[in-house]
């Protein structure tokens, strides 16, 4: 089985981006071609490089949206878990790193767990992105069948979503740009039903012969659950796993729109944008742990 080429665009405020990085770095179905960071401070770059070095991925390039960003932009969770790695300079601007990756590996799938500035800057270079899996967006009642609706979102058509609102011009560019051939949004109405809690942790600890990145992810979740026993919403890991196995999620073809600071979706037969409406928990967990091969 040929591994999937993936580039991961991330941040380091919410813990699940770095947990996703761990999972992708040594997943048996993935070749991680790059990690790019928003905003991309030297502290963030040092943290990401530390994770990649621990997992034997020293040659994976790391890009930054703003290498001179004055704030660290690293949550205390990461320091409690990983210590304070030495701040570092990136290998280049995120757009340049991604441009090099797509030049060498044009089939690379871009997975995003952050606001979309790095990707919009990439599109400005004139490249074509064949496939993106974007954590963000929202599908309301007119898109999601009643049996798949989360209770907290029933009756809603729009909702604020963090990553798309983090850089609205970039999000609008990516959602409308013809040089993004296909987009899959792993949306808030599904992600908020995916919680890594003590029950899921028990299932993950039962995985035999874990790959190093998955083992490091579990290590991080031991730290997290010790302080937050209710668990962690696993937004970005779901997006990354669905890039590996798109059959994890059921999708609807839609056009996205923004209204009063919130995002919604309208069904469309002509759109190249797909949004998640439901997910398969067992299939997700097997992919997360590296136990499920890629399904065409």
pLDDT at 26 over 70: yes
Sign for the CA dihedral angle at 62, 68, 71, 72 comes to: positive
Nearest to residue 207, comparing CAs of 149, 291, 292? Answer: 291
What are the tens digits of pLDDT across the range 171-205? 999 999 999 999 999 999 999 999 999 999 999 99
What are the tens digits of pLDDT across the range 85-102? 999 999 999 999 999 999
- Whether the model clears a pTM of 0.95, i.e. scores above it, the answer is yes
Q: Which residues pair with 251 in a beta bridge?
A: 276
Q: What is the mean pLDDT of residues 141-160?
A: 96
**Residues ≥6 apart with Cβ < 8 Å to 79:** none
Structural domains in the chain?
A: 4-288 (3.90.245.10)
Nearest to residue 121, comparing CAs of 66, 200, 187, 158? Answer: 66
Neighbouring C-beta atoms of residue 260, cutoff 10 Å: 6
**Residues ≥6 apart with Cβ < 8 Å to 70:** 41
Nearest to residue 136, comparing CAs of 166, 98, 97? Answer: 166
Q: What is the mean pLDDT of residues 258-268?
A: 97
Contact 257, 167 (CB under 8 A): no
pLDDT at 41 over 90: yes
For residue 277, the surrounding DSSP H or E stretch is strand 273-279
Phi, psi of 137 (to 5 degrees): 90, 175
Neighbouring C-beta atoms of residue 201, cutoff 10 Å: 17
């Amino acid at each position: 089985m040929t591994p999937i080429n993936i580039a991961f665009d991330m941040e380091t405020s919410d813990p699940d981006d770095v947990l996703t990085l761990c999972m992708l770095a040594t997943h048996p179905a993935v070749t991680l071609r790059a990690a790019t960071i928003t905003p991309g401070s030297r502290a963030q770059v040092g943290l990401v490089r530390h994770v990649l070095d621990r997992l034997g991925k020293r040659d994976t390039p790391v890009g930054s949206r703003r290498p001179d960003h004055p704030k660290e932009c690293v949550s205390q969770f990461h320091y409690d878990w990983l210590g304070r790695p030495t701040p570092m300079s990136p290998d280049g601007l995120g757009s340049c790193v991604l441009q090099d990756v797509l030049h060498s590996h044009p089939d690379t799938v871009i997975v995003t767990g952050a606001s979309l500035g790095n990707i919009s800057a990439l599109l400005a270079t004139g490249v074509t992105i064949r496939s993106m899996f974007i954590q963000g967006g929202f599908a309301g009642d007119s898109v999601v069948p009643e049996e798949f609706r989360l209770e907290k979102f029933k009756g809603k058509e729009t909702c604020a979503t963090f990553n798309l609102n983090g850089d609205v011009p970039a999000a609008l560019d990516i959602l409308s740009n013809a040089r993004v051939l296909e987009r899959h949004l792993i949306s808030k109405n599904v992600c908020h039903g995916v919680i890594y809690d003590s029950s899921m942790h028990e299932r993950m600890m039962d995985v035999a012969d874990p790959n190093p990145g998955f083992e490091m992810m579990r290590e991080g979740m031991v730290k997290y659950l010790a302080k937050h026993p209710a668990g962690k919403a696993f937004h970005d890991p779901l997006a990354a796993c669905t890039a590996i196995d798109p059959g994890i999620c059921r999708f609807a073809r839609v056009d996205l729109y923004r209204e009063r600071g919130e995002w919604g979706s309208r069904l469309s037969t002509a759109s190249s944008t797909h949004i998640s409406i439901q997910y398969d928990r067992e299939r997700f967990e097997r992919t997360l742990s590296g136990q499920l091969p890629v399904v065409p």
